[in-house]
Structure 1
Amino acid sequence: MKEGWLKWFRSRRLRLILMSFICTTLVIWAWEKTSGVAPEILMEMLSPKDTNLLGEAPFVEEKGVDLNTSSESSIWGVNSTVSEKNRDLDFDDDSGQSRVSARETAQKEPVTKSKQNSQDCDYRKGKWVLDKKKPLYSGFGCKRWLSPMWACRLTQRLDFAYESLRWQPKSCELPNFEADSFLRKMANKTIAMVGDSLGRQQFQSLMCMITRGEERSDVEDVGWEYGLIIPRGAIRPEGWAYRFPDTNTTVLFYWSASLCELEPLKQQKSKRQTDLAMHLDRPVKFLRQYLHRFDVLILNTGHHWNSGKLQANRWIMYMNGTPIANNSLTEIAYAKNLTVHSVVKWLDSQLPHHPQLKAFFRTLSPRHFFNGEWNTGGTCDNTVPLSGGSRVLQTKSSDPVAESAVRGTRVRLFDITGLSSLRDEGHISRYSIKATPGVQDCLHWCLPGIPDAWNEIFATLI
């Protein structure tokens, strides 16, 4: 009896030792397998799938999965209970340049080469990644070209994580922007941007990128060549034009929020200000007058097509030379569609006469007003980069009006809507030089910022 009990005890002890040995072996094997995995790959394995923040049109994966399920943890690869302090990027460089903390290096990825030609790349699909080389210029500098109201480094804002992200397309390489190389490529050429204040932001961003934010006394103001002088009674011209003499490269912007011709109407004695006929079927006169001088053209419009802007600007919509009676919101949406198609159609008809011209229509820059509009308490207080996701997988544009307008034409779609929709933390928000309480700007972007990525894509497209 005693001998049987000893055999049972020894057998049980042997089984326990064997099980412990097997478990230990498995743990060591698993550790050896994973210890060589790069942090960014582990982070990728832990991160939830791609999401979006675009309010107007949801991102849809190729397989038809609805990706409109944003999560604050999607870029950080941790659960959503992580504190705000631990999610923020760490910036404390007195020079104004950003320093990325160790906890964020998992999201840093090198630019990888691809077999696909960058000009044929679908740059709309990709993701935002950290880049220590960003920003390309200082927000404290570029004073000649950067408006102070958009230089968030000059405001009360203290977080600048949004400056250190770059856009990486999924299937190709987006080369780093090199100012000297860009100017050589654009030697003896004129780049024209025509559009609203978001177009002006892209223009200022490009000027800062080319000059690296430094003062350049050699850059010539040639606005007078294009009629861009300050009109009597105005505080600024309708646009700006600058020339880099070493390469004879001209970069200009002309303000035309609607892209259609505005014609002063005969002023009535009872009115202090003059109404303007907004000809939906006529492109802005500046385009018709100077198109032959352009080598690259970027058009944009969008955020002035609402009843408030039309009334404030005293625009009265005209078609075929006669006023449109109904100015309801439905008619305004139709008017925008009509104008975009009309301008693109006209531009396409002109391209055979200007074979040197490369023409682009830039899509809508997204707004991020939450809980209201700009005048009803709308806010964009988020400061955490990519809190709603880092990727865009959709194939179609989130600006269907622009996409349909260029279809079948020689005008190329310059689509920045999807990639910009993920960057709600990059807006001016409540920060300003004067710190006006109660009003937030969730339309315009801080510079340096998201428009720099637009220009990096633009430099590749041309």
Structure 2
Amino acid sequence: MTIAKAHQIVVIGSTWGIKNTFHSFVAILATLLVITTIYLTRDRGEEKLSQKINVSIESLSSSKCDLFSGKWVFDNESYPLYKEKQCSFMSDQLACEKFGRKDLSYQNWRWKPHQCDLPRFNATKLLERLRNKRLVFVGDSLNRGQWVSMVCLVDSILPSSIKSMQSIANGSLNIFKIKEYNATIENYWSPLLVESNSDDPVNHRVPERTVRIKAIEKHARYWTNADYIVFNTYLWWRRPLMNVLWGSFGDTNAVYKRVEMLRVYEMAVRTWSDWLEVHVDRNKTNLFFVSMSPTHERAEEWGATKGDNCYKETNMIAKEGYWGKGSDPKMMQVVEKVLDDLKTKGLNVQMLNITQLSEYRKEGHPSIYRKQWEPLTQEQISNPNGYADCIHWCLPGVPDVWNELLYAYIINQ
């Protein structure tokens, strides 16, 4: 960082000989007048110089490094930030080492922005910032994975006597509480943000996805008064058409219509933003939106064999700027437009743009190394590509970096 330097202005006085004559007296008066003028001019100059320096400092402090543009650096000394087995609340869907993965190099990568460094994650410092506060992750299973990551990042420094986990709202809201700090790190299941027929945290796989496009209060009441809210919604929208419901589920007078997905997505995000505009306390709540988490389900996109996916991948994608077809820029453009509109209304939602940095990490997914919730068929066993999970992420791993980015914003606010 460039450091502005102020140059001292040094005034050197002269020794004057004084004669007891009228002319000498006049000369002294004239000299005093000149010196006074010099000092006044100097003071005004110093004031202007001070103003210039202040402007320069303000300009420097307002300029921000792009945290989302950078590269991955292998670091097996300081990463991972925690051990999978040491996290009391690790999810079996993300515990790749536990379920047989031998190559653990995916745990040893650090994200390095081009123009600066991410601050080192400090769990104690974060908890101090969260004292008497709520940090809530709202969204789908990728958002839940980021929540598990955040819990694991702070869990290791806490004795069991001051931490607890509870589930309420039919399992939709999971609350990790740190008693000593009176702080909570929470996750609320709401994969489409608005109400839908996929809102059950367990039984949400339905053949036809339907959303109540103008209804959000059922979910939003659980976010109210949170101090930090981290939203996402993307994965569950990946289909050409969606069922839109005007009315209530089970209402015989309700109106259903099939609508192109991007249009429905925009309506849902607008409903979400309308709720924020009306209900969020701008002096209390800090808002974040996590961009698309990329998938790696088509190996031909990075030059591998067609029909393969992330299964057996152990190296990241080296091509700078790589972008897979599993990420839809049009959807994030919708979000960016909505966030820009909110900003004009005095409500700032910080975008955590994790898409590009995550695109490189094709080797970071669970693949076959996770708990299988249903018994595998013989066909699946003979073809691991068919049941490899190339959507979620192993922990420790990529979502830890998402939380390092979040941490940087929370600490520097």
Question: TM over 0.5, yes or no?
Answer: yes
2:398 paired residue number = 450
2:27 paired residue number = none
Residue 383 of structure 1, aligned match among 292, 313, 316: 313
Deviation digits for residues 72-118 of structure 1 (CA, Å, limit 9, x no counterpart): xxxxxxxxxxxxxxxxxxxxxxxxxxxxxxxxxxxxxxxxxxx9669
1:130 paired residue number = 74
Deviation at 1:372, TM superposition (A): 9.2
* 1:124 and 1:392 in contact (8 A); partners too: no
Residue 338 of structure 1, aligned match among 267, 270, 273: 267
Q: Structure 1 residues 181, 296: closer, same or farther in 2, change over 3 A? A: same
* 1:118 and 1:172 in contact (8 A); partners too: no
1:243 paired residue number = 177
Residues 1:281 and 2:214 are matched in the alignment: yes
2:245 paired residue number = 318
* 1:388 and 1:422 in contact (8 A); partners too: yes
Q: Structure 1 residues 240, 326: closer, same or farther in 2, change over 3 A? A: same
Deviation at 1:140, TM superposition (A): 2.1
2:350 paired residue number = 412
Amino acid paired to 1:304:
W
Deviation at 1:274, TM superposition (A): 13
Q: Structure 1 residues 426, 371: closer, same or farther in 2, change over 3 A? A: closer
Deviation at 1:416, TM superposition (A): 0.7
Deviation at 1:308, TM superposition (A): 9.8
Determine which structure has more spread, i.e. the larger CA radius of gyration. Answer: 2
Deviation digits for residues 254-276 of structure 1 (CA, Å, limit 9, x no counterpart): 10110002479xxxxxxxx9999
* 1:127 and 1:391 in contact (8 A); partners too: no
Deviation at 1:248, TM superposition (A): 1.2
Query: How far apart are the structure 2 equivalents of 1:284 and 1:307?
Result: 25
Q: Structure 1 residues 167, 151: closer, same or farther in 2, change over 3 A? A: same
Query: How far apart are the structure 1 equivalents of 2:115 and 2:126?
Result: 23
Identity of aligned residues (%): 29
Query: How far apart are the structure 1 equivalents of 2:371 and 2:307?
Result: 20
Deviation at 1:206, TM superposition (A): 0.2
Secondary structure (helix, strand or coil) at the match of 1:259 reads coil
Deviation at 1:171, TM superposition (A): 1.8
Deviation at 1:411, TM superposition (A): 1.7
Q: Structure 1 residues 323, 145: closer, same or farther in 2, change over 3 A? A: farther
1:108 paired residue number = none
* 2:322 and 2:359 in contact (8 A); partners too: no
Q: Structure 1 residues 390, 211: closer, same or farther in 2, change over 3 A? A: farther
Deviation at 1:444, TM superposition (A): 0.3
1:425 paired residue number = 363
Query: How far apart are the structure 1 equivalents of 2:147 and 2:404?
Result: 12
Query: How far apart are the structure 2 equivalents of 1:391 and 1:306?
Result: 22
* 2:364 and 2:397 in contact (8 A); partners too: yes
* 1:116 and 1:171 in contact (8 A); partners too: no
Deviation digits for residues 360-410 of structure 1 (CA, Å, limit 9, x no counterpart): 11111001101599xx966213533333336789xxx95323222211322
Query: How far apart are the structure 2 equivalents of 1:276 and 1:170?
Result: 41
Query: How far apart are the structure 2 equivalents of 1:197 and 1:171?
Result: 32
Amino acid paired to 1:190:
R
Deviation digits for residues 25-49 of structure 1 (CA, Å, limit 9, x no counterpart): xxxxxxxxxxxxxxxxxxxxxxxxx
| Matched length | 314
Residues 1:191 and 2:135 are matched in the alignment: yes
Query: How far apart are the structure 1 equivalents of 2:113 and 2:209?
Result: 43
Query: How far apart are the structure 1 equivalents of 2:272 and 2:158?
Result: 36
Q: Structure 1 residues 386, 250: closer, same or farther in 2, change over 3 A? A: same
Amino acid paired to 2:333:
P
Deviation digits for residues 191-235 of structure 1 (CA, Å, limit 9, x no counterpart): 011100000000000000011387734213354xxxx15x4xxxx
Residues 1:146 and 2:74 are matched in the alignment: no
Deviation at 1:168, TM superposition (A): 1.3
Query: How far apart are the structure 2 equivalents of 1:206 and 1:344?
Result: 25
* 1:125 and 1:392 in contact (8 A); partners too: no
Residue 460 of structure 1, aligned match among 383, 408, 412: 408
Deviation at 1:334, TM superposition (A): 1.8
Deviation digits for residues 9-40 of structure 1 (CA, Å, limit 9, x no counterpart): xxxxxxxxxxxxxxxxxxxxxxxxxxxxxxxx
2:150 paired residue number = 206
Query: How far apart are the structure 2 equivalents of 1:184 and 1:317?
Result: 43
**Root mean square deviation of aligned Cα:** 3.3
* 1:191 and 1:250 in contact (8 A); partners too: yes
Residues 1:253 and 2:187 are matched in the alignment: yes
Secondary structure (helix, strand or coil) at the match of 2:124 reads helix
2:231 paired residue number = 299
Amino acid paired to 1:461:
Y
Query: How far apart are the structure 2 equivalents of 1:332 and 1:448?
Result: 33
Query: How far apart are the structure 1 equivalents of 2:274 and 2:104?
Result: 41
Q: Structure 1 residues 431, 249: closer, same or farther in 2, change over 3 A? A: same
Q: Structure 1 residues 385, 216: closer, same or farther in 2, change over 3 A? A: farther
TM-score, normalising length from structure 2?
A: 0.68
TM-score, normalising length from structure 1?
A: 0.61
Deviation at 1:307, TM superposition (A): 4.8
Deviation at 1:445, TM superposition (A): 0.4
Task: Show the 5 A alignment for 1:163-202.
Answer: 163-202=107-146
The unaligned stretches of length 5 or more in structure 2 are: 1-58, 199-205, 249-253, 343-347
Amino acid paired to 1:303:
L
